[in-house]
Amino acid sequence: MMRKTKKLPKRTNESGFTLIELLIVMVILVLLASLVGPRLFGQLGAAKGKAARAQIEMLGAALDSYRLDMSNYPLTDQGIAALSVAPIEPNAAVLWRGPYLKKPVERDPWGNNYIYKSPGSHAEYDLSSLGADGKEGGSGDDSDIVSWK
C-alpha cells in the first residue's frame, strides 16, 4: 500500500526583505552617515577648545584665590599642583586655605599638561594649552589657548 501525501499549496506572498531592498537601505544609511559624521567630528574639536578655555578661566580664578591667601602666585616649579596640595613649610601651611579646586586639573582636554609659568612674560602668571597637536603655534584645533588673551 502506497501512501499518498498531500501536496501543500505554494505560498506566493512570503514576508521578508529581498537582498536588493537590504542593499538599498544600507546605501542610504552610508550616505546619511557620510553627510552627518564630518559635521559631528568637526564640532568635537571645537568643544575641546571651549573646554580648555573654560578650564584656564577656572584655574585662573583658583590661582587668584591662592594669591589672596598666600600673597603671591605659586612659582613655576610648584605649578598648578599647588592649588590642590598643601605646602610643606609650616609658615605657608598656616596661610593655605585650599584646596582651591574641587578636583586637580593638570591636563587639557587633549591629554597634554597645561603650561604654567610664574612670573609670566605676559602677566603675573602665564597659563596655556598647546592645543590638539601639542606643539606651539598652529591654527584651528591646533591653535594654542592662553590665559592672557
pLDDT tens per residue across span 69-105: 888 899 898 888 888 888 888 877 788 887 888 888 8
Identity of residue 16 = G
pLDDT averaged over every residue in the chain: 83
Residue 126, strand partner residues = 117
Identity of residue 140 = G
What is the rounded CA–CA span in Å between residue 125 and residue 121? Answer: 8
Report residue 145's pLDDT band, with 50, 70 and 90 as the boundaries: confident
- Predicted confidence at residue 59, as pLDDT, reads 92
What is the arithmetic mean of pLDDT over 34-56?
79
Q: How many CA atoms lie within 13 A of 98 on its CB side?
A: 27
Q: Quote the distance between the C-alpha of residue 59 and its chain's center.
A: 16
What is the arithmetic mean of pLDDT over 121-137?
86
What is the arithmetic mean of pLDDT over 106-130?
89
Max Cα–Cα distance, the chain, nearest Å: 112
What is the rounded CA–CA span in Å between residue 38 and residue 61? Answer: 35
Q: CB under 8 Å to 51, separation ≥6 — which residues?
A: 109
Q: Is the pLDDT of residue 137 over 80?
A: no
Q: Is the pLDDT of residue 63 over 90?
A: yes
- Predicted confidence at residue 27, as pLDDT, reads 92
Report residue 32's pLDDT band, with 50, 70 and 90 as the boundaries: confident
Report residue 16's pLDDT band, with 50, 70 and 90 as the boundaries: confident
Higher pLDDT pick, 51 / 43: 51
- Predicted confidence at residue 85, as pLDDT, reads 85
Higher pLDDT pick, 36 / 122: 122
List of domains in the chain: 39-146 (3.30.700.10)
DSSP structural state of residue 84: T
